[in-house]
Amino acid sequence: MKPITLILILLVSNLALFAGDKDSSKADNELANEKLKELSAFLKTLDSAEKAMQYKTGSVPLSNNVAHINLPAGFKFIDAVQTRYILHKLWGNPEDPSLLGMIVPDSFHLNSANVPWVFTVSYEDMGYVKDDDADNIKYDELLADLRKGQEEANPERKKEGYAAMHLLGWASAPYYDKQNKVLHWAKEFSVEGEDAKTLNYEVRVLGRKGVLSLTAIATMDQLSEVKKNIPAILKMAEYDKGFKYEEFDSGVDKVAAWTIGGLVAGKLLAKAGMLVFLAKFWKLILIGVAGAGAAIKKFFGFRKKDEDTGIVPADAGDTSANA
Domain ranges in the chain?
Answer: 4-52+280-322, 58-276
Report the C-alpha gap between 185 and 221 in whole angstroms: 17
Q: Which range in 94-103, 108-117, 200-209, 262-271 is most confidently predicted, on average pLDDT?
A: 200-209
User: What's the average model confidence in pLDDT over 284-311?
Assistant: 39
Encode pLDDT of 8-53 as tens digits.
Answer: 555 555 555 555 555 556 666 666 667 667 667 777 787 888 899 9
318: buried, middle or exposed (CB in 10 Å: 19+, 13-18, 0-12)? middle
Confidence of residue 231 (pLDDT cuts 50, 70, 90): very high
Report the C-alpha gap between 46 and 39 in whole angstroms: 11
Res 245: pLDDT: 97
Confidence of residue 96 (pLDDT cuts 50, 70, 90): confident
Q: Does the pLDDT value for residue 323 go beyond 50?
A: no
Q: Does the pLDDT value for residue 104 go beyond 80?
A: yes
Fold adopted by 58-276: Protein Transport Mog1p; Chain A (3.40.1000)
**52 within 8 A of 323, measured Cβ to Cβ:** no
Res 90: pLDDT: 80
Q: Does the pLDDT value for residue 322 go beyond 50?
A: no
Q: Residues 225, 92, 267, 153: is their CA dihedral positive or negative?
A: negative
**Percent of the chain whose predicted confidence (pLDDT) is above 90:** 38
Q: What is the mean pLDDT of the chain?
A: 77
DSSP string, 44-113: HHHHHHHHH---B-EEEE-TTSSEEEEE-TTEEEEEHHHHHIIIIIIT-PPP-TTEEEEEEETT--TTBS
Q: Does the pLDDT value for residue 111 go beyond 60?
A: yes
Pairing mode, strands 67-71 and 58-61: antiparallel
Report the C-alpha gap between 270 and 272 in whole angstroms: 5
CA angle 171, 163, 304 (to 5 degrees): 145
